[in-house]
Structure 1
Amino acid sequence: MDHAAVLARYDRDMREGARPDGPGARIERTGGVVRQIADPLGWNGVLWSGLDAACADRAIRAQIAYFTGLDRAFEWKLHAHDEPADLGARLLAAGFRAEPVETLMVGEVADLALDTAPPDGVRLVEVTDAAGVGLAVDVHEKAFGTDGAPLRHRLLARLAADPGTAVAVVALAGAEPVSAARMELVPGTSFAGLWGGGTVAAWRGRGLYRALVGHRARVAAAHGYPYLQVDASPMSRPILERLGFQALSTTTPHLYGI
């Protein structure tokens, strides 16, 4: 993989050329940034910026004023290769809070190891209705210990408006949901995004995460996407590396008002 070329393509397709991630959201390009505005349960934030030292602080202040004027908490999705080099420090000085660093990982679908099956007694089921959304949200809340209301809202909205662009998968042990993950297929781009992979504590270490990656990769391949992209935690990075993903950069969510 040509890391520099694929990273440039990712920035162009998924950040600078971003599309709204759900119905009711919109993308705006203004003042050297690309931002998404959604309702309070959607994702609000800055996806990309083309700034330099002379204009960065002014742009940061403008985004704070804009989102707080809408009564929206928001995220500035900072990548390690963004300019200026001290943009993270400038965000912290302006009142943002940095979340743990994640690794931007990309895999070429044709080169990935996709033959991982779920453990015996576990089946993978794609989410197609409100009941399936409920199963995925149940896993999310148990695995991450966070409120699943925003995820429920986003999945139901995507299923209603454009079910072909969002794929959520639940692993069921009998009738019990034990792992879940989702994928976003963005038309007109080369990248399918893998998001939200989580497994309840009692089922970790049994290959469910790998099986869910493999399932989504096969779906992405069937839709013609050459690349998969993941913002990987330190726990998932080594699993993804073994499957054939490569690290291209890091990303650090910077939160304001959250």
Structure 2
Amino acid sequence: MNSPSGQTPAGVDATSLLAAYDDQLRTDAETPGALAVTRLGPLRLVTFAAGRGFVTYRDLAGADAATIRGFVASALAHFRDDATVTSVEWKTRGHDVAPGLHEALVDHGFVPEEPESIMIGEARLLVADVPLPEGVTLRRVTAEADVRAMSAMADEVFGDDPATSGHADSILHRQERDPEMELWVAEADGRVVSAGRLEPVPGTQFAGLWGGSTRPEWRGRGIYRALTSARARSALERGKTYLNSDSTEFSRPILERSGLVKVSTTTPYEWRR
């Protein structure tokens, strides 16, 4: 639960941050915008718009390998029975006690994606005056055309097809159900070059930083950090103390330099019909 250098910043209790993450964020707070949530033992089987299934849990309740294999089989059967679900993500965490989970997921057709770092820290640490490149501006967006342009940029960055991913429709649906969610973009010459969401979590001290993406040719110029600072300011205005993010290796160093701490890892496993 330390930074890559092996040292947790002075005054930061990574163990307490991880406990707050488990207690406050691994509940219904993790699935805003869900169309349906079904409980299966400790699991939450979630259906989102655009045919997306999602599996999460607070922990696996001390289950052994055989029981966990049964959870995987039953969860997949649940989603297979819903013809509208075309993909399922099973969200794992590196600090969980989960004997045999990797093997069970792979045997049932789930494919592990790249691990990400679970980053947590105080929102105030990310507030900074970051100079932007000439011609680049930041703003919060709500109009459908802007949301679709933001989503298309993110799809292109992550190698998805905007025409078929369904991500824009999902975000628009979320926006209707969760007006507290904020969508932020950086633009140059009217073109979205970076974007990210802020998701305040009701009833908790947290707001999440999600969907961070920047076009490759615009990276390393302070734009993502400026977007992060703008979202941190907004989180503080909403009374949130902590920010959390599942970060790729592009964004982790930026958040780490701002004072966030890597407390664990998360690896999504993906199944497609």
The TM-score, its normalising length taken from structure 2, stands at: 0.86
Q: Is the Cα contact below 8 Å between 1:138 and 1:177 reproduced in 2?
A: no
Structure 1 residue aligned with 2:234: 219
> Residue 106 in 1 paired to residue 120 in 2?
yes
Which of the numbers 6, 24, 46 marks the counterpart of 1:13? 24
Q: Is the Cα contact below 8 Å between 1:124 and 1:169 reproduced in 2?
A: yes
Structure 2 residue aligned with 1:45: 54
Amino acid at match of 1:47: T
Amino acid at match of 1:30: L
> Residue 178 in 1 paired to residue 179 in 2?
no
Structure 1 residue aligned with 2:151: 137
1:61 deviates by: 0.9
1:195 deviates by: 1.3
Matches within 5 A, 1:43-192: 43-48=52-57, 49-51=59-61, 52-53=63-64, 54-71=66-83, 72=85, 73-148=87-162, 149-164=165-180, 166-192=181-207
Q: Which range moved further: 43-52 or 218-227?
A: 43-52
Q: Is the Cα contact below 8 Å between 1:114 and 1:218 reproduced in 2?
A: no
Structure 2 runs not aligned, ≥5 long? 1-11
Aligned CA distance change for structure 1 residues 97 and 142 (closer, same or farther; 3 Å): closer
Q: What is the alpha-carbon distance in structure 2 between the residues aligned to residue 35 and residue 13 of structure 1?
A: 18
Q: Is the Cα contact below 8 Å between 1:18 and 1:27 reproduced in 2?
A: no
Q: Is the Cα contact below 8 Å between 2:53 and 2:88 reproduced in 1?
A: yes
Q: What is the alpha-carbon distance in structure 2 between the residues aligned to residue 17 and residue 190 of structure 1?
A: 15
The two structures, once aligned, show a CA RMSD in angstroms of 1.9
Alignment length (residue pairs): 255
Q: Is the Cα contact below 8 Å between 2:195 and 2:211 reproduced in 1?
A: yes
1:120 deviates by: 2.6
Amino acid at match of 2:177: A
1:146 deviates by: 1.2
**Percent of aligned positions with the same letter in both sequences?**
38
Which of the numbers 202, 206, 220 marks the counterpart of 1:205? 220
1:121 deviates by: 1.9
Amino acid at match of 2:117: T
1:187-232 Cα offsets, whole Å, 9 max, x none, are 1122211111111222122111111111111111111111111111
Q: What is the alpha-carbon distance in structure 2 between the residues aligned to residue 10 and residue 125 of structure 1?
A: 29
Q: Is the Cα contact below 8 Å between 1:112 and 1:243 reproduced in 2?
A: yes
Q: Is the Cα contact below 8 Å between 1:15 and 1:34 reproduced in 2?
A: no
Q: What is the alpha-carbon distance in structure 2 between the residues aligned to residue 8 and residue 188 of structure 1?
A: 16
Structure 1 residue aligned with 2:39: 29
1:19 deviates by: 5.2
Amino acid at match of 2:198: M
Which of the numbers 243, 251, 254 marks the counterpart of 1:228? 243
1:43 deviates by: 4.0
Amino acid at match of 1:128: T
Q: Is the Cα contact below 8 Å between 1:97 and 1:255 reproduced in 2?
A: yes
Where 1:18 maps in the other structure, the secondary structure is: helix
Q: What is the alpha-carbon distance in structure 2 between the residues aligned to residue 42 and residue 227 of structure 1?
A: 31
Aligned CA distance change for structure 1 residues 16 and 84 (closer, same or farther; 3 Å): same
Q: What is the alpha-carbon distance in structure 2 between the residues aligned to residue 179 and residue 101 of structure 1?
A: 22
Amino acid at match of 1:45: F
Amino acid at match of 1:199: T
Q: Is the Cα contact below 8 Å between 2:123 and 2:232 reproduced in 1?
A: yes
Q: Is the Cα contact below 8 Å between 2:127 and 2:230 reproduced in 1?
A: no
Q: What is the alpha-carbon distance in structure 1 between the residues aligned to residue 146 and residue 96 of structure 2?
A: 38
Structure 1 runs not aligned, ≥5 long? none
Amino acid at match of 2:43: V
